[in-house]
Amino acid sequence: MRSLQRQRKIYLDGFAGRKPSTPVSYAGLEERARQVLPPEAFAYLAGGAGSETTIDANRRALDQVKIHPRMLGGVQEVSMQLPWRAHTLPAPFMLAPIGVLEIAHRDGDLAEARACAALNVPMIISSQASHPMEAIAKQLGSTPRLFQLYYSKSKELSQSFIRRAEAIECSAIVVTLDTTLLGWRLRDLSLGYNPFIMGKGIAQYYSDPVFNALPDPVLTDSTKPPLSFDLIRNLISLNNRIPGGLIHNFSTGKAMKAARKFTAIFSNPGINWEDIKLIREWTSLPIYLKGILRPDDARKAVAVGVDGIIVSNHGGRQIDGSVSSVEALHGILAAVKDKLDVWLDSGIRSGSDVYKCIAMGATGVLIGRPYAMALACNGQQGVIDCLTNIMSELELHMALSGCHTINDINQDLISHPWKTI
Ligand SMILES: Cc1cc2nc3c(=O)[nH]c(=O)nc-3n(C[C@H](O)[C@H](O)[C@H](O)COP(=O)(O)O)c2cc1C
């Protein structure tokens, strides 16, 4: 088993006086990321909405799922493989779409993609990535990829993103439903920090022909920030980021216009079930809805003919006091299991967490903050280490509880307190 080799290597390195270069626990990853990142970048990655009770709820719910391991299963070899669409995944997880990864590491999504390629773990490319999807796809090689869509106020732009996702051979489109507006995020508000205003995380937009052809927005808010050193520094950063060059962008106002245009059309709070039907008509790719937390919404997802859902509260970044995704999963599975793929994210930190969600009946899970923190700690190698550690723990959990394959991880092996709403 690969997990045994990994354990052995780490212990032997320790014997030779070398500690793992990437922290092994999530707490360790977060602590190291806090040390190496500027305070605003760390706050953006780690923070949630309001008093962050949803982040806590995600963890508390997972803690309430108890594993009852079965003995004498005679498990000498374990297969964590999951058949998914045309692919065989090495383990039942993918990497969640995380925007603005350039604030975690200068190579951002490109480093993430290379780590995915090293392990053949699917990557969900974010609408808010720091690099155009075509550049990310190059790093992925033949590794499975999906594209996450924030449905824009411009339908033509959303269509263009989907066409580009088809061209880079995405296996599915993931439409995120829970971020039609940014949540009330106290850490970012306290620091007055919004990366998008600085031109970060908008690479899909300025690399898009439809976006570039959209008219510049009419300015209605004439409030100008006072001139300061930080303002000049941020203006230089913004003008450097958008293609065209610093001088050209400054003299034409191109970068400012692009950032304003993005803010004006980024997401469409008016999105409704009719729009999902429209997206269904636009593409023959499988469609997944991300952000479902209620059984009735899951039933509607089945009714409009999407292929899967991702039960998620966006890692507690949108609604303070929201139901945890693991708690919501139980009722949702009771409503729609076997009618479509049900994935989950929000709070997954370890192989044990992956095991619990699979046992509850999820098809698989998305790993979010752990890989983003690992990227901040140690770049591409950090992400590889983080994912390998999660796989190792999952493999050991399976072996220690009598499971030969993913299908053996089932309801009989866990208990939890929830009932259907
Ligand atoms: C910094 C950050 C940026 C994110 N950006 C996106 C995004 O661009 N699109 C999206 O659908 N979800 C985004 N998410 C949500 C993740 O896809 C995922 O739902 C969340 O990270 C799961 O919670 P966890 O990381 O606590 O496990 C983001 C999350 C974080 C932490």
CATH number at residue 373: 3.20.20.70
Rounded distance from Cα 401 to ligand 1 centre (Å): 31
Which residues, given as ranges, of the chain have pLDDT below 50? 420-421
313 contacts 327 by C-beta, under 8 angstroms:
no
The closest residue, in CA terms, to atom 15 on ligand 1 is 314
Indicate whether 291 and 214 sit together in one domain. Answer: no
Indicate whether 24 and 149 sit together in one domain. Answer: yes
Determine whether the shortest distance from the Cβ of 143 to ligand 1 is under 6 A: no
140 contacts 113 by C-beta, under 8 angstroms:
yes
Indicate whether 232 and 362 sit together in one domain. Answer: no
Domain presence at residue 383:
yes
Domain presence at residue 420:
no
Of the candidates 265, 293, 318, which is a domain's last residue? 265
Determine whether the shortest distance from the Cβ of 345 to ligand 1 is under 6 A: yes
Which of 301, 282, 283 shows the shortest CA–CA distance to 291?
Answer: 301
The per-residue pLDDT for 400 is 98
Determine whether the shortest distance from the Cβ of 369 to ligand 1 is under 6 A: yes
Rounded distance from Cα 98 to ligand 1 centre (Å): 5
170 contacts 285 by C-beta, under 8 angstroms:
yes
Indicate whether 237 and 303 sit together in one domain. Answer: no
Of the candidates 265, 284, 316, which is a domain's last residue? 265
Rounded distance from Cα 368 to ligand 1 centre (Å): 6
Domain presence at residue 421:
no
Indicate whether 201 and 170 sit together in one domain. Answer: no
Indicate whether 150 and 163 sit together in one domain. Answer: yes
Determine whether the shortest distance from the Cβ of 398 to ligand 1 is under 6 A: no
- Closest-lying ligand 1 atom to the alpha carbon of residue 174: 11
What is the domain count for the chain?
A: 2
Indicate whether 210 and 155 sit together in one domain. Answer: no
Determine whether the shortest distance from the Cβ of 200 to ligand 1 is under 6 A: no
The preferred substitution site among 136, 188, 317 for testing ligand 1, maximizing ligand atoms within 8 Å of CB, is 317
The per-residue pLDDT for 182 is 95
For 173, residues 6+ apart whose C-beta sits below 8 A from its C-beta are: 146, 147, 148, 149, 162, 165, 279, 283, 285, 286, 287, 288
Of the candidates 202, 237, 265, which is a domain's last residue? 265
119 contacts 94 by C-beta, under 8 angstroms:
no
Domain presence at residue 362:
yes
Indicate whether 17 and 68 sit together in one domain. Answer: yes
Rounded distance from Cα 386 to ligand 1 centre (Å): 17
Domain presence at residue 170:
yes
The per-residue pLDDT for 244 is 80
Indicate whether 115 and 257 sit together in one domain. Answer: no
Determine whether the shortest distance from the Cβ of 322 to ligand 1 is under 6 A: no
Backbone angles phi, psi at 65, to 5 degrees: -85, 125
The preferred substitution site among 40, 98, 200 for testing ligand 1, maximizing ligand atoms within 8 Å of CB, is 98
The per-residue pLDDT for 338 is 93
Indicate whether 57 and 135 sit together in one domain. Answer: yes
Evaluate the CA torsion angle 150, 316, 413, 7 in order and state its sign. positive
Indicate whether 196 and 273 sit together in one domain. Answer: no
Candidates 131, 314, 330, 397; catalytic one: 314
State the residue range of the domain holding 193.
188-265
The per-residue pLDDT for 421 is 38
Which of 44, 144, 61 shows the shortest CA–CA distance to 313?
Answer: 61
Rounded distance from Cα 317 to ligand 1 centre (Å): 8
Give pTM, 2 decimals.
0.97
Rounded distance from Cα 373 to ligand 1 centre (Å): 12
Domain presence at residue 238:
yes
Indicate whether 208 and 89 sit together in one domain. Answer: no
Active site residue 314: yes
Determine whether the shortest distance from the Cβ of 158 to ligand 1 is under 6 A: no
Rounded distance from Cα 251 to ligand 1 centre (Å): 36
The closest residue, in CA terms, to atom 8 on ligand 1 is 99
Determine whether the shortest distance from the Cβ of 348 to ligand 1 is under 6 A: yes
Domain presence at residue 37:
yes
Domain presence at residue 160:
yes
